[in-house]
Structure 1
């Protein structure tokens, strides 16, 4: 599961890390509380040049007659993505990297307020999450939309939540983006060795209106 994220890198730094040409309308950074339906930073490949682009976080199938025409699809399960009518064409033809500094996950215990944790790569590098995307053409202009691909939690994540975004290492980016030919399917399980850091943070991030760097500050 991935239901909230933070992005702190400046646009030029993201463009350099991913060797991508940045669009002119990228979301402002830093943003410590990126929520579903907001624009996120996405890397796509094509015509010999990667692009760093904004996309709506919430994949919209072509048959939705409005943005709220069905469930909000912010995640796509790797185990079923190839079979789901909403996702199967996109995972073959329109894969992307969804860029974040980290994401939030909530540990839920019956009878208690869900406890948020902020999850980052232990090496401090940006998190490139496997994603899928497609344009939804029933808006006034085509709207690029995306979803994060998730898999079962690794051993480090399991005490907090049973799902984890598929986090790709730099050597895997070309294959996922389709630059290195076919055979990307195994990458959707390749997260066991990614070293992650888990920071217990304030429950103020439970509100989608919360803002500011304090959201990622550790608490006891």
Structure 2
């Protein structure tokens, strides 16, 4: 699964990387993003890339209340077509979730040790996601998303059996293209990211608490104690 991630770059760098039109959303670098929090998500609107603030944890349009989103932070790539919640979204509401790292925990000797996984070059990338819009009983529209996961690659597997589906720059374009509807072409994008292009290191247990969203969350443990 993917239960925490980071997006530590500047707003200008984010817009440049994804070729975004400017937006009025509030933005700050994030070092420990957790479910139910609002983050920038990229969608295609009439051929243009837009960035929208969305709540992490998918709330389908038909939901009776928003609590269902707490259980829908991830969607398994292998079963997307089998779940009524995702069948239409995979065709019509695909999105990119910008990130530059994610956390996983390894259980050893009765305790969980947190690790951060990122690209070798420390660069930005995107998770494949799905989004929806839900209207509350009070009439407020809430935009929310889920992150698609795949089986873990050989780097992540010793820590967790799942990992988020990470897209290359070329795959991002295909993922956002509404004209791409062939199930086979869509599914072939949802695969484990190459291990040789990623790195992993242990971080401070401070990331265990969602309220801790500070730069030192991403510092390797060995550097903290140097």
| TM range, smaller chain | over 0.9
Once the two structures are TM-superposed, the CA of residue 63 in structure 1 deviates from its matched residue by 2.7
Return the match for 1:210 from 207, 212, 215. 212
Once the two structures are TM-superposed, the CA of residue 180 in structure 1 deviates from its matched residue by 6.4
- Call closer, same or farther: CA 1:38–1:5 in 2, change over 3 Å: same
In structure 1, the partner of 2:98 is 99
| Aligned residue-pair number | 218
* Partner deviation per Cα, 1:36-82 (whole Å, 9 max, x = no partner): 00011211112121012211000012232211147521000000011
In the alignment, structure 1 segments of 5+ residues that lack a partner are: none
In structure 2, the partner of 1:31 is 30
**Bigger shift: residues 138-147 or 128-137:** 138-147
SS at match of 1:80: helix
SS at match of 1:189: coil
Give the Cα–Cα distance (whole angstroms) in 2 for the partners of residues 69 and 39 of structure 1: 16
In structure 2, the partner of 1:14 is 14
Give the Cα–Cα distance (whole angstroms) in 2 for the partners of residues 206 and 145 of structure 1: 23
Q: Which runs of 4+ in 1 moved over 4 A?
A: none
Once the two structures are TM-superposed, the CA of residue 100 in structure 1 deviates from its matched residue by 1.1
Give the Cα–Cα distance (whole angstroms) in 2 for the partners of residues 190 and 204 of structure 1: 28
In structure 2, the partner of 1:184 is 186
Give the Cα–Cα distance (whole angstroms) in 2 for the partners of residues 122 and 180 of structure 1: 33
* Partner deviation per Cα, 1:152-210 (whole Å, 9 max, x = no partner): 00111111110010000101111111166342221012523661111200111111111
Give the Cα–Cα distance (whole angstroms) in 1 for the partners of residues 194 and 140 of structure 2: 40
Preserved CA contact (<8 Å) 1:64 1:70: no
Matched ranges for 1:38-57 at <5 A: 38-57=37-56
TM-score by length of 2: 0.90
Once the two structures are TM-superposed, the CA of residue 22 in structure 1 deviates from its matched residue by 3.4
In structure 1, the partner of 2:113 is 115
* Partner deviation per Cα, 1:125-146 (whole Å, 9 max, x = no partner): 2121000001012253211100
TM-score by length of 1: 0.92
CA RMSD of aligned residues (A): 1.7
* Partner deviation per Cα, 1:99-142 (whole Å, 9 max, x = no partner): 01211111123x52211001111122212100000101225321
Preserved CA contact (<8 Å) 1:131 1:147: yes
